[in-house]
């Protein structure tokens, strides 16, 4: 077990973000209404109070990769596209805090209105998608800011991009990225985000795709983008759904 105070701090942040300390019950209809450690570990429940739903394996992966780019001096900011209650972004900011990275920004990109209704005329891969109908996915920016504040991490190194990705990401004032975490679920949200941001990822930086295994449209968006650019990503599996690769 590490005695590095930076990692001990991040251990505690991780447990708080997942709420494995107080074991809040899930709000989804499929988890039985009781906290189950295996579901929280793999991100298969929708917590009622925890600040992230990505689960312990994906959160630990994000922490590890964020720490790695700082130690390796990979230039650039960190971004998540689709942030829910902000937990993954809070973790990225906590890693910066722990390792005294004062020259980087965590970008929090979200509509704060849930997901867009599918537009099958432009994105037939999203036909029949129902994510837009899930009220628990609609989280206000004020709630996310308050979550950052609870960890004493709401400061000038946290910036919000409010709106649909097609409107915010192409013109976002981001020069370089070391971490690009895609969590937009749908084909449209995924293809718009990676198209706008991939070229800003520094060599040695990481692209993380949360919904790759869970949503066929997301997986197709990554495949289509990479094929169009001649990219053959060396995909690494995180858990049952998430993958990542290093640029």
| Mean pLDDT (whole number) for 182-201 | 97
pLDDT band at 1 (very low <50, low <70, confident <90, very high): low
pLDDT score, position 3 = 87
pTM as predicted: 0.97
Q: What is the mean pLDDT of the segment spanning 10-32? A: 96
8 A C-beta contact, residue 204 and residue 104: no
Outline where 19-116 has alpha helix (H): 37-42, 55-72, 87-98
Average pLDDT score over the chain: 96
pLDDT of residue 2: 65
Q: Which residues pair with 245 in a beta bridge?
A: 207
pLDDT digits (tens, 9 = 90+) for 134-177: 888 899 999 999 999 999 999 999 999 999 999 999 999 999 99
Q: How far is 124 from 118, CA to CA, in rounded Å? A: 8
* Nearby residues of 180 by Cβ (< 8 Å), 6 or more positions away: 79, 81, 193, 194, 197, 198, 200, 201, 205, 206, 207, 208
CB 139 within 8 A of CB 85: yes
Q: What are the CB-based long-range contacts (under 8 Å, 24+) for 37-44? A: 42/239, 42/240, 43/239, 43/241, 44/240
Residue 202 has pLDDT above 90, yes or no: yes
Q: Where are the domains of the chain?
A: 72-246
Nearest in space to 181 (alpha carbons), one of 30, 66, 74, 35: 66
Give the whole-number percent of the chain exceeding pLDDT 90.
90
CATH 3.40.50.150 assigned to domain 72-246? The reply is yes
Q: 159, 105 in Cβ contact below 8 A?
A: yes
């Amino acid at each position: 077990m590490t005695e590095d105070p930076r990692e001990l701090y991040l251990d505690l942040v991780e447990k708080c973000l997942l709420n494995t300390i107080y074991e809040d019950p899930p709000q989804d209809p499929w988890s039985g209404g009781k906290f189950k450690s295996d579901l929280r570990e793999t991100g298969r429940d929708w917590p009622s109070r925890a600040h992230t739903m990505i689960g312990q394996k994906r959160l630990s992966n994000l922490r590890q990769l964020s720490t790695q780019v700082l130690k390796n001096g990979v230039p650039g900011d960190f971004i998540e596209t689709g942030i829910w209650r902000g937990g993954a972004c809070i973790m990225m900011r906590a890693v910066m805090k722990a390792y005294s990275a004062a020259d980087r920004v965590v970008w929090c990109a979200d509509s704060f209105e849930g997901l867009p209704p599918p537009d099958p005329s432009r994105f037939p891969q999203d036909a029949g998608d129902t994510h837009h109908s899930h009220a628990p996915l609609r989280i206000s920016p004020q709630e996310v800011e308050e979550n950052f504040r609870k960890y004493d991490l709401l400061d000038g190194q946290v910036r919000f991009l409010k709106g649909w990705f097609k409107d915010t990401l192409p013109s976002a004032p981001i020069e370089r990225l070391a971490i690009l975490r895609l969590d937009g679920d749908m084909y449209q949200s995924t293809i718009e985000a990676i198209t706008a941001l991939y070229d800003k990822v520094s060599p040695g930086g990481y692209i993380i795709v949360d919904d790759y295994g869970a949503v066929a449209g997301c997986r197709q968006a990554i495949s289509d983008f990479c094929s169009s650019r001649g990219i053959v990503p060396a995909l690494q599996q995180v858990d049952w759904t998430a993958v990542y690769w290093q640029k």
